[in-house]
Amino acid sequence: MSESIQMPTHVAIIMDGNGRWAQKRGLPRTAGHKAGAETLRKMVEFAAQSGIEFLTCYAFSTENWKRPKTEVSFLMTLLSTYLEKEAKDLAKNGIRLKVLGDTQGLSSKLQKQIQKAEEITAKGTRLQLNLAINYGGQQEILAACQKFAVEVEQGLSKPNEITIEKFESLLTTQNIPNPDLLIRPGGDYRISNFLLWQLAYTELWFSPILWPDFSEKEFELALENFKNRERRFGGVVQ
């Protein structure tokens, strides 16, 4: 069965290319991350204006800890600053913030800021912004399996009771619809351990534009491309 496509309900973005953007300009990689944060701010507002209900952005992966300590430290500070400065504006603009990922692996300060930002923006209904921080798709699936194993061990569930719906309730994205469209700027063609379960039938759109240069025009191109696609979900056109 095919589905008539209008505006996607949920768009996911892999924000890639910050470091290369800076290097091309003879700037430190940290300058690229700072510019990328400004782009995020613009794209969040554009998504809200476009009628998108959920926007999920890959901010920091579980693999990003492998980067130089100075860069990781800057990214943590940037995330902290973003949460501190943006929470009230997000709430004012009707945008709810939710953080996906292993927050226990973050500093206690950042954990408190996340909790506070989520509380401040909890009443937002215009758009839900999901920031994936210390997130990995494989790790998320493994954690869900471990949760179900504990339920079985405690006699709360039986092995044969596992279903797609049950499994999805154990993921960090529970109560969030799977993405309709994944956008990856930066020129690479991979999903980099991002939302591995959730992207099963997501439409993919890749752009050579580095994230700091990604504009409303590029976002609109992705949306227009999505509207011209035919989503069959494994079926055939009737």
16 is catalytic: yes
| Contact between 227 and 51 (Cβ < 8 Å) | no
- The alpha-helical segments, DSSP class H, found in the chain are 18-24, 29-50, 69-92, 108-120, 137-153, 164-168, 216-227
**Residue 103: exposed, middle, or buried by beta-carbon count in 10 A (0-12, 13-18, 19+)?**
middle
Active-site position among 16, 18, 130, 180 = 16
Angular region, 210: left φ>0, alpha ψ -120 to 50, beta rest: beta
Cα–Cα distance measured from residue 27 to residue 235, given in angstroms and rounded to the nearest whole number: 49
64 is catalytic: yes
Task: List, by residue number, the catalytic residues.
Answer: 16, 64
